[in-house]
Structure 1
Amino acid sequence: MQQDPNPRPATGYPYPNPQQQAAAAGYPYQNHNPYYAAQSNPRAVLIRRLFIVFMAFLIILGLILFIFFLVVRPQFPLVYINSLSVSNFNASNNQVSGKWDLSLLIRNPNSKMSLHYDTVLCSVYYRRESLSDTRLQPFDQGKKDETPFNATLSVSGTYVDGKLADSIAKERASKGTVEFDLRMVSFVTFRYGAFRRRRYLTIYCDGVAVAVPVTGSSGKMLGLSKKCKSY
């Protein structure tokens, strides 16, 4: 019997599965049908994209601020005490009286930023003990401006600890001087065009020696102008 050179599969014989054929041949089967591809979660994709946009915004904003502060360089004002005098000064029987007249020079070192000072609280201390304070009105400073600053502080018969009064008396007797500390605090706004930055400012002038002999009640600051600390 002669065989058919092109045999055909009999009717009803199962057609080979391409996935099974690929597995038998040792090759991984690839499904190119897009309807069988894994579907991504739209919400997860949206959240991922928003996160990328947010991080890019933060990086750009950080670079802008970094370049801005490199160019502008906000600096605290420079403060010098020019004079400090006291009159009607007395410290005895746990009481202190006196009137302090203060003269400062405040300099804005910024060449591109103006300054605005809110209400300034000015205080005089002796060994960290407040003796008197006063509030002064707000003021502005232009770029590179210098502003004279004057203040008067007074106290009459305020109570102090006995040790403090004794310390003042001993210092006057031994040196003929009394060292006072001055402190001023204010909120300062740095202004550059539309840019605004508000900072808390403390000005501290420590160890300002005032000649007040035991036999007198008035005296003036010793030495020349002295630079104060600003922070």
Structure 2
Amino acid sequence: METLAHGKPYAVHDPPQQRSFFSTFLWRFLMAMVAAFALMAIISLTVKLVFKQRYPEILVVSGSGTLRTSRYGLTAKWDVMCVVKNPNNKFTIHYDAISAGITHGKFGILDSRHYKPFVQGSRAQNAVGLGFAAKDVFLGKEEILRIRDDMSRGAVRFGLRLSGWVRFKNHIIKSRYHFWESVCDPLMFDFSATKNFSLTLTNPVTCK
């Protein structure tokens, strides 16, 4: 208790606590939010490590066909057998809008096919046959001469490209659709003019 100059006492009040309380509350709230975000990040990382999603693996195991050339174009058929593997232990793969095409160098796709959606179980492997045909596809005189030179040497190079949208699912997680592409190049075919202009895949090819 203090007194004024004329002797009357007055009370000395404690400083207001409102600002201190608000600052403490805000600090604790921010710390709680940081801790919550850190916990969510740890949980998310753990889930990703435990449930890591891997795209399909493709192996071209065999292939055959026929090949003929005209002055400027190419006529051919290809029958290719692939093994499609789901490498995931904990996910099924849902394939949607899948397409496959046979390719030749810079000229891109010579023929393509589209396939119905299907589901592949975890660690499953499926044999898939793909058939393609090209009728007098224009490549130009220079490229046809190169192909004929390869044919005379007994080996011709083509490629295979698969693409589409896939989704990963299990009893906990269902991912959004992801675009997936797998390229199998080179596919080297032995060529024999004495056996009806036949093509035979030289070796199995793992796609990337």
Structure 1 contact 176–213 (Cα < 8 Å) conserved: yes
1:218 is aligned to 198
Question: Cα offset for 1:32?
Answer: 5.0
More strand by share: 2
Letter in 2 for 1:164: E
Question: Cα offset for 1:227?
Answer: 1.8
2:155 is aligned to 177
Q: 1:17 to 1:169 in 2, by over 3 A?
A: farther
1:67 is aligned to 46
Letter in 1 for 2:191: V
Letter in 2 for 1:192: N
Letter in 2 for 1:82: V
Letter in 1 for 2:133: S
**Normalising to structure 1: TM-score of the pair?**
0.74
Matched, 1:160 2:139: yes
Q: 1:152 to 1:63 in 2, by over 3 A?
A: same
Letter in 1 for 2:187: V
Question: Cα offset for 1:166?
Answer: 1.9
Task: Summarize deviations over 1:163-192 as a string: whole Å, max 9, x none.
Answer: 32222111111x211111111012111112
1:6 is aligned to none
Structure 1 contact 103–149 (Cα < 8 Å) conserved: yes
Q: Which secondary structure state, in structure 2, belongs to the residue aligned with residue 112 of structure 1?
A: coil
- Unmatched runs of 5 consecutive residues or more in structure 1: 1-8, 19-30
Residue in structure 2 matching 1:208, options 187, 197, 204:
187
Structure 1 distance, partners of 2:130, 2:5, is 110
Q: Which secondary structure state, in structure 2, belongs to the residue aligned with residue 102 of structure 1?
A: strand
**Normalising to structure 2: TM-score of the pair?**
0.82
Structure 1 distance, partners of 2:76, 2:193, is 14
Q: Name the larger-Rg structure.
A: 1
Question: Cα offset for 1:155?
Answer: 1.5
Letter in 2 for 1:114: T
Aligned residues: 202
Matched, 1:93 2:71: yes
2:14 is aligned to 33
Structure 1 contact 96–157 (Cα < 8 Å) conserved: yes
Q: Which secondary structure state, in structure 1, belongs to the residue aligned with residue 143 of structure 2?
A: helix
Matched, 1:189 2:167: yes
2:102 is aligned to 124
Q: 1:92 to 1:109 in 2, by over 3 A?
A: same
1:79 is aligned to 58
Structure 1 contact 98–156 (Cα < 8 Å) conserved: yes
Q: 1:61 to 1:38 in 2, by over 3 A?
A: closer
Letter in 2 for 1:67: T
Percent identical pairs in the alignment equals 20
Matched, 1:135 2:114: yes
Structure 2 contact 70–136 (Cα < 8 Å) conserved: no
Structure 1 contact 105–148 (Cα < 8 Å) conserved: yes
